[in-house]
Structures are given as C-alpha cells and as structure tokens.
C-alpha cells in the first residue's frame, strides 16, 4: 500500500469537503487504497458508506450490486399483508454515489481470485482490490427439495425471502386465492435469515384474511421444535387475534414439494395440500461465498474473525451479514448486518491506514415484528466481544422482548425502518 | 511561596484529571461504539423523523437518560433492555461522541 498517496488523497478529500466541493465526485480516479464491496444489502451498503466516511473519503470504494434499487426485507411482510407497497420498501442507491462517492456498479460477480485480488463480473469486466467486503446474503438450497427443480415449480411456489418481485407475486397469489382457501408456510431448521420473519408473515396473512377472506386459514409448518423467536408473543397473537385462522405445527421437516398438485411432503408427517404454498427452503451463504471456498461451517456459512469480519479461509476478504457463521444468540437480521458493516468498515479503514483495530466491538440488535397493521412486538439484544472466546456474546442482564404487542412500538418500528435505511443508504 | 502553591495545585489538578481519564477511550473506539446506535438514532446521531436525535445533545443529558433507563426510573419500550448492555464507561464515551457532533 502507498501510504503517502493515501494521506494526500485523504487530506485533499477533507479540504474539498470544507470548500463545499464534492470530494466524492472523484469516483474511481483517486490513488488511495481500493475496497470492493459485493452486495448492496444492509451489510454491504453500510460498509461501503462507512469506509468512505471513516477514511475521510480517502479510500476508493466500488459497490457491485445486481439490483437497480435496495428493497428491504424488513417491512416486506407488510406488502404481503397489504398495508404497504413495494414503493414503501424501495430506496435508490443514488445517495451512496452522490453524497459519499461510492462507485455503484450494477453487475453480478461471478468469480473472485483471492490470490490476484480480482473480482470478475458477468459482463467480463474486472475490479482489483486491496480488501474485498463480501455481503452476498443467503441463497436458498432449492436442491434439497427435488420437486422445486421441475419446470415452472419455482415460479408457482414462492419463497419471497428476498424482498423483490416474489414479494409482490406472493401478495398477488393471496389476492387471487378464493375465500375458504389455505395458505401454508414452511420454515426450515434454524439458522435461517430473519428468525421471527415467518411468524410475522403468518400474522400478516391472517390479518389480511380476517378482513378480506374470513373463511380462509393459515398453516405454519415449522421444522423447529418450537417457535424460534418471540414465541410467547406470537402464540398469544395466534390464540387471541387470529383464533381459528392460524394453526401452528412444529417438527414438520419438509422433504419435497409437488408444484403440480400444490402438495407439501414431510419426512414423518402426512402430505398436505394448500391453495397457496410459501416454502422457505434451507439457506446458506450466498453462492459467490460458497464458490470462493469461504463457507467452511457445514459448507453453509462463512467463519469470520469478529474483530475485523475477515474470513478465516481467505486473507483480505471480509464477509458480512446473513452469510456468516453467527456468534451465539446473534440473529441473521438486517439490523445485525448493518452493525457488521460498520464494525468491518472501521477495521478495514484501520488496516489500510496502519491504525489499531478496535479490540472491543459492542453493538445491539433490535427487531420489530408486526402482528397486525399497527401492533408490534420487539426483541432486543446487546452483543460484545469476548477476547478469551474470540466471539461476540450477549451482555448478561441486557436485552429482552416486549411485554405485549402495542401500537407505540408500531410507530417506532416504522421510524426504525426510516432510520436504518438512511444509515445504510443515505 | 504563592507561586509554589499554584504549581502544586496545578500538579494536583493534572493528577486528578489524568485519574479521571484513566478509563479514557480511544476516539475511534468511541466512534465505533456510537455507530451501533445509528441504526435507530441516525448516522452520527442525526435521526430521521420519529426517533430522537443524539447529535449535539450534552454528554450529561445522554448519560443521565441512559442511567435512568438502566435503573428503570425512566419508562421505555426497549431502551431499558439496551442500556443494560453498556458499561458506565462505555455510556460516557458514547455520550461524549454524540455531544461533539453537529446537530
């Protein structure tokens, strides 16, 4: 690394900022160290913004993201429930470029050469890096369900577990379903993205049914032994608000589906048909992380050093968000990915500028679930680094859940969304 | 004589000051800790509507609020649970960071 050049760029960037020029306008033309970020979700977009900010705009950052805009998974269940629109959960990437000078490239990474420090894109172009930040989210292990490989199956049986076209498509399936029909959602064994998400979705669908299709039912078929997050709060909502609409069944391991007949097949339980199937297959780190050999935990998740988020399998590659092998009691959530992004950004800036990496990260997680259009329950936790165990542990005595679903937290939940979207993208 | 006295007082003050900063936190570490609050309270504490901004709020006010959340004196939906995850020194450092930010 050429430190002198970096310092020059950094001070020039700061001076330009003071003068009101956009130091950010010099995208890609500087001579500072290069960081490439792959994936513009909560982890990657946050990391891209904060590497720029915290290097005083001295480190060049390129963010590679296949989607035109950021579509939030949190709040997307409200689109399925009908109280929010796709527009409400969509944010453009413009500000990362305009305000922070991130070079946002719309593209898809097909290959990473860790030795040459090169990222190859589907269009044939290449990007070199000093450090790579990989935040590819999850990919769904469709091959664990043979029936999903049949032509058309994946167009009919949706997961809607990456907010986007499937979110709207699932909403349309619910709208098209006749009253008296059944919506069935299957949940894989933890860990999976967003532990309370499937239970929130069940509430949202039931809320819609209670207003528009009161004879319809929601079936939750969970491979886990019990509800994996906010259990008593969700069960209370199902028993009281959605009595006779939601039915919860645990220990249902899905092994196959038949899209032609809308049938779910379980390891031990009887086959089950429903009008609308919402199948959440097993998940693992995004394909590019697996392909690069970073998914060393069960061949599914990427092990990282929690001080820097550097991969334990490859130098100069940092992995964030839902792709990582999490620390104990650390959820795979957007809020947590944003925290990973900032912790990693600080470490990457320190490593590239010869400063000390923070030896004691501490951050929190806050997760709100809507049990109706307005009433919300939360789970919160605080995680701090344990130097002896070299992992993040929850702080004893901290954290907890709502005492009951309430409307005040419904307002906080939407304010949370506005704030985290801004912290990630604005 | 008076001069010596002043010098002694100064020296004592310096010792006291350095003692009170014995737990002094690296500013970059404090910045990272504070960034953990930004998800809800905005980048550098400048919040979007619906959440409280922390930028430019006095260190004393933030520390008091956090301590009141910790003890339960101040009602909360979740800040009583979050505040308990942070030590008094960490709260001091985070509060000082936000106090120094532009509103």
User: Which of A55, A334, A423 should one mutate to test binding to chain B, selecting the residue with the greatest count of B CBs within 10 A?
Assistant: A423
- DSSP code string of A122-191: TTS-EEE-SEEEE---EEE-GGGSGGGGSTTHHHHSB---SSSHHHHHHHHHHHHSPTT-EEEEEEPSSS
Pairwise CB contact (< 8 Å): B86 & A382: yes
CA distance A77 to A83: 9
* Mean of pLDDT values over B4-33: 62
Helix axes A231-240, A197-212, angle to 10 degrees: 10
Number of A/B CB contacts below 8 angstroms equals: 115
- What band does A29 get if pLDDT is binned at 50, 70 and 90? low
Q: How many CA atoms lie within 13 A of B6 on its CB side?
A: 3
At residue B24, the pLDDT reads 75
Assess whether pLDDT exceeds 60 at residue A24: no
pLDDT of residue A349: 98
- On the question of pLDDT at A2 being above 80, the answer is no
Omega before A411 within 30 of 0, i.e. cis = no
pLDDT attached to residue A9: 39
Dihedral class, residue A390 (left if φ above 0, else alpha if ψ from -120 to 50, else beta): left
> What is the nearest CA distance from A358 to chain B, expressed in angstroms?
6
Torsion of CA A159, A163, A165, A168, to 10 degrees: 80
If you search the block for the tokens 């089950």, which residue do you land on?
A272
- Contact flag A380-B26 (C-beta cutoff 8 Å): no
- Whether the ipTM is more than 0.85: the answer is yes
Domain ranges of chain B: 25-99
Superfamily of domain A142-281: FAD/NAD(P)-binding domain (3.50.50.60)
Look at B49 and A415 and tell me if their CB atoms are within 8 Å: yes
Check A414 against B50: CB less than 8 A apart: yes
What is the pTM assigned to this prediction? Answer: 0.91
pLDDT given for residue A30 in this prediction: 64
B77 contacts B40 by C-beta, under 8 angstroms: no
Give the model's pLDDT for residue A321. 98
Q: Do B36 and A363 touch (CB under 8 A)?
A: yes
Q: Please check whether residue A233 is in contact with residue A202, taking contact to mean a CB–CB distance below 8 angstroms.
A: no
User: What is residue A247's DSSP assignment?
Assistant: E
Chain B nearest C-alpha distance from A350 (Å): 9
Gap from B1 CA to chain A (nearest CA, Å):
46
Summarize the confidence of residues A175-180 as an average pLDDT. 98
- A157 confidence band (pLDDT: 50, 70, 90): very high
Smallest CA-to-CA distance from A55 within A348, A261, A424, A286 is with: A348
Q: Which residues pair with A377 in a beta bridge?
A: A369
Query: Which chain A residue is nearest to residue B84, measuring alpha carbons?
Result: A398
Which residues of A267-327 form beta strands (DSSP E)? 272-273, 276-279, 283-285, 317-319
pLDDT for A7: 38
3-state helix, strand, coil in chain A (%, to 5): 35, 25, 40
CATH 3.40.50.300 is the classification of domain B25-99: no
- The C-alpha atoms of residue A296 and residue A115 are separated, in whole angstroms, by 18
Q: What angle in degrees, to the nearest 10, is found between the helix axes of B27-35 and B88-99? A: 90
Residue A102 pLDDT > 60:
yes
Quote the CA–CA distance of A196 and A187 in Å, as a whole number.
10
Domain A3-139+285-359 has CATH 3.50.50.60: yes
CA distances in angstroms from A373 to A81, A344, B68, listed in the order given: 8, 35, 32
pLDDT for res B23: 58
DSSP A419: H
pLDDT digits (tens, 9 = 90+) for A60-71: 999 999 999 999
Write out chain B residues lying below 8 Å of A100, CB-based.
none
pLDDT in tens, A322-372: 999 999 999 999 999 999 999 999 999 999 999 999 999 999 999 999 999
By Cβ distance, the residue of B33, B77, B85 closest to A412 is: B77
Q: What is the pLDDT of residue A23?
A: 40
Instruction: Determine the pLDDT at residue A31.
Output: 79
Strands A276-279 and A182-187: parallel
Asked whether the predicted pLDDT for residue A27 surpasses 70, the reply is no
Mean pLDDT rounded to a whole number for chain A: 94
Cβ–Cβ below 8 Å for B50 and A54: no
Minimal Cα–Cα distance from B49 to chain A, Å?
7
How close, in Å, is residue A366 to chain B by CA atoms? 9
- pLDDT at position A18 over 70: no
**Residue A188 — very low, low, confident or very high, per pLDDT cuts 50/70/90?**
very high
* A303, A308, A311, A317: CA torsion to nearest 10: 150
Q: How far is B28 from chain A (nearest CA, A)?
A: 8
DSSP state of A304: B
Contact B51 A423 (CB under 8 A): no
pLDDT of residue A20: 34
Residue-wise pLDDT for A275-334, tens only, equals 999 999 999 999 999 999 999 999 999 999 999 999 999 999 999 999 999 999 999 999
What is the C-alpha to C-alpha distance for residues A349 and A48, in angstroms, rounded to an integer? 11
pLDDT of residue A123: 97
Residue to test with chain B: of A17, A42, A342, most B Cβ within 10 A: A342
Quickly list DSSP for A274-322: -SEEEE---EEE-HHHHHTT---BTTTBB-B-TTT-BBSSSTTEEE-GG
Task: Name the residue in chain B with its Cα closest to that of A404.
Answer: B77
């Amino acid at each position: 690394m050429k430190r002198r050049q970096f310092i020059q760029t950094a001070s020039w960037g700061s001076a330009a900022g003071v003068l009101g020029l956009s130091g950010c306008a010099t995208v890609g033309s500087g001579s500072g160290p290069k960081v490439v970020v792959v994936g513009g979700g909560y982890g990657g977009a946050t990391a891209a913004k904060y590497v720029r900010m915290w290097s005083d705009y001295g480190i060049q950052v390129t963010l590679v993201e296949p989607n035109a805009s950021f579509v939030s998974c949190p709040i997307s269940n409200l689109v399925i429930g009908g109280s929010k629109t796709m527009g409400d959960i969509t944010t453009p990437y413009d500000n990362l470029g305009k305000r922070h000078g991130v070079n946002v490239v719309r593209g898809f990474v097909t290959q990473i050469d860790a030795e040459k420090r090169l990222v190859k894109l589907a269009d044939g172009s290449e990007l070199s890096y000093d450090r790579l930040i990989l935040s590819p989210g999850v990919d769904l292990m469709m091959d664990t369900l043979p029936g999903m490989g049949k032509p058309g199956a994946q167009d009919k049986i949706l997961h809607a577990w990456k907010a986007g076209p499937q979110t709207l498509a699932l909403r349309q399936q619910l709208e098209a379903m006749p009253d008296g029909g059944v919506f069935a959602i299957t949940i894989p064994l933890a860990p999976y993205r967003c532990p309370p998400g499937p239970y929130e979705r069940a509430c949202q669908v039931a809320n819609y049914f209670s207003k528009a299709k009161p004879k319809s039912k929601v079936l939750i078929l969970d491979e886990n032994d019990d509800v994996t997050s906010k259990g008593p709060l969700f069960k209370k909502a199902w028993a009281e608000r959605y009595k006779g609409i939601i039915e919860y069944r645990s220990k249902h391991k899905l092994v196959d589906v038949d899209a032609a007949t809308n049938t779910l097949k379980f390891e031990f339980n009887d086959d089950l048909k429903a009008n609308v199937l919402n199948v959440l297959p097993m998940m693992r780190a995004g394909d590019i992380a697996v392909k690069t050999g970073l998914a060393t935990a069960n061949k599914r998740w990427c092990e990282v050093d929690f001080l820097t988020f550097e991969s334990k399998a490859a130098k100069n590659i940092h992995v964030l968000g839902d792709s990582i092998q999490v620390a104990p009691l650390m959820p795979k959530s957007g809020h947590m990915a944003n925290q990973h992004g900032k912790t990693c950004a600080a470490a990457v800036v320190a490593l590239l500028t010869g400063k000390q990496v923070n030896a004691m990260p501490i951050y929190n997680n806050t997760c709100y679930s809507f049990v109706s259009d307005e009433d919300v329950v939360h789970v919160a936790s605080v995680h701090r680094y344990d130097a002896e165990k070299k992992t993040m542990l929850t702080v004893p005595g901290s954290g907890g859940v709502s005492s009951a679903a309430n409307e005040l937290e419904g307002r906080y939940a939407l304010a949370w969304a506005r704030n985290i979207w801004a912290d990630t993208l604005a | 004589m008076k001069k010596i006295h002043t010098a002694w007082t100064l020296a004592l003050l310096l010792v006291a000051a350095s003692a009170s900063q014995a737990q002094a936190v690296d500013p970059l570490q404090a910045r990272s800790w504070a960034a953990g609050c930004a998800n809800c309270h905005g980048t550098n504490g400048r919040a979007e509507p619906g959440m409280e901004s922390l930028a430019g709020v006095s260190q004393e006010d933030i520390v008091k609020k956090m301590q009141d959340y910790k003890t339960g004196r101040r009602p909360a939906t979740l800040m009583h649970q979050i505040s308990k995850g942070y030590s008094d020194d960490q709260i001091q450092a985070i509060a000082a960071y936000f106090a120094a930010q532009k509103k």
